[in-house]
Each structure stands twice: as C-alpha cells, then as structure tokens.
Amino acid sequence: MAETALIAALKDSALLLRKQLLRTSLTGHVHLGGDLSSADLMTVLYQHTLNVDPQKPDWDARDRVILSKGHGSAALYLAMANAGFFSPEEVISTYGKDKTKFGTHPCRRDCPALDVSSGSLGHGLPMAVGIALGAKLNNDSHRVFCILGDGELGEGSNWEAMVAAHQFHLGNLIAIVDRNMLSLDGKTEEIMGLDPLDAKWSAFGWNVLCVDGNNVSELVRALDTLPLSDSSTPTVLIAKTVKGKGVDFMENVPRYHSGSVTKQEYERACVQLDEARAAEREADA
C-alpha cells in the first residue's frame, strides 16, 4: 500500500477503535483515558507491524504481545478484533460481563488468543524478557512486544528486567511506553517523576526511540525501522501520548482514567472524533 493510503487507512482504523472504546464504555467499566492514549499505537501494531495471523492465533512463529498495562485490555481486544481475531461486536457487548472472554484485564485461560495474562503492574517486562530469552534459545526469529504504562514504571521489577534484557542481549525485545504523563492519582512527574525517561532507558543499555505516540506516521516510521530481531540490543519506543486523546473533555483529565460514559458524553465524543478526522482528510487531500 502506498504510504499515504496506508497512513489514511490506519488513521481511519484508529478512529474506529476510539469509537468502539467509547461504545464499550457505555455499558462497561473501561480504562478509557489510557485506552484512548494507546489507540493509535495499538492500531499500528495490529494493522501494520505485528507478524500475527488471526486465523492461527497459536502460530509458533508469531510475534508475541504482552500488554503489561493490563488495564488497557479493551484497547487490546478491540485492536485484535479489528485485525480479525474476534468479532468487534462480541467484544463490545460482552466486555467485563459475567464469565466473559474479554475481562477487564487480559486472561489467557478465558481468551486463549492472548499471549500472556496480565493486570498486576510491573509483571509484563520480566515475562517479556523470559519469552525473548526462550525465543533466542529456540532460534526463533519472532519479536516480543511489551506495552507498558508510564505510571507502572514505578514498579522496580521493570528496572530489574531492563538490566536483564541488556545483559542477555535481547534484540528481539521491543518495549513500548505509553507515556501519557498521568496515572490514577494525577501527574506522574508530581507523584514520582520519571524524566528524563529516555536517558534512563539509554543508561540501562537500550536503543531508545522517542515518538509522538498519537501520530500514526511517526509510529509507522519508528516501527518499520526496528533493529533486526537477531540483533543484540533491546529497543524501547517511548510513545508520548495524551491520555483521553481525541476527546477534548477527556484529554488529561484523571477522572476519565476508568469508568463508564453517559450517552450524551458518548455522542459528543463521537462527533468530535468524526469532525477531527474529516478535517484531517481534507487537509491531506
């Protein structure tokens, strides 16, 4: 696909994902702020970057995805659904409901298409290190993608894993930080500052890429130029995002970290998202 067409298709898909997330939160308890911040990233991963096959979710050579910020499960399920893994309508109608496959945190037992169960923060990166190490031992060439929230970097286990990934030369490991600057209680830099985050990862021996995580073109460019999986240095993509991205009354508002939306909020948000995308299309034309 020509690049402009590809970017346009990905933006349309990210718009669809945002509207699906809002629809899901009409009846379910969704971590909407972080899901909206990661919507572009999740779309680019599942529509463009990942080497996965929705018809064969247990294909051994697939890239592995660990959503360490497991509270972002709705964005994960819907991005996977839009890539053909599930029916989007099934996700939207059953998310978080009794005995659902699509729980509020990812669970492999209930949803075997997932690579890892997650939810407790600070667990994803060590497991990703283990998977990447296992892949190297098996001479498998797939990559391992681990998506982290920025607030979750407060957990020391991440930093243990960062040291180990460098020590074990895991060039097949890609960490992506959804750097939306907010955690449950407020601003990450006021609660327990992380900056300079790029310098910290770099000091731990990682390749560091910093991008606008709500810019589809930048995400595509960064993810298209990752080091080869048999290289020896792990890579982190620090994706600077806006929590609640795309809906002005949700952007950077901690109250929308999680919860449901009213019909009025849903309709208002969808109008805004559609108008913004229409304006973008016009500008691109």
Give the footprint of other proteins on this chain (CB under 8 A): 64, 107-109, 115-117, 119-120, 122-123, 125-135, 137-138, 140, 156-157, 160-161, 163-164, 168
User: Least Å distance between CB 157 and other proteins?
Assistant: 5
Locate the DSSP E strands across 172-278. Answer: 173-179, 182-183, 186-187, 207-212, 235-240
Looking at the Cβ atoms of 125 and 209, the one nearer to other proteins is 125
Residue type, 187: K
Tokens, residue 257: 């970290």
Q: Do the strands 235-240 and 64-67 form a parallel or antiparallel pair, or are they unpaired?
A: unpaired
Looking at the Cβ atoms of 58 and 282, the one nearer to other proteins is 58
User: Least Å distance between CB 149 and other proteins?
Assistant: 17
Residues 6+ apart with CB under 8 A from 280: 11
User: Least Å distance between CB 28 and other proteins?
Assistant: 22
Tokens, residue 107: 């669970």
User: Least Å distance between CB 118 and other proteins?
Assistant: 8
Looking at the Cβ atoms of 8 and 66, the one nearer to other proteins is 66
User: Least Å distance between CB 198 and other proteins?
Assistant: 22
Looking at the Cβ atoms of 103 and 213, the one nearer to other proteins is 103
Contact 173, 162 (CB under 8 A): no
Looking at the Cβ atoms of 22 and 129, the one nearer to other proteins is 129
Q: Please, what's the b/e burial string for 240-258 (b: 16 or more CB within 10 A of its CB; e: otherwise)?
A: bbbbbbbbeebbbeeebbb
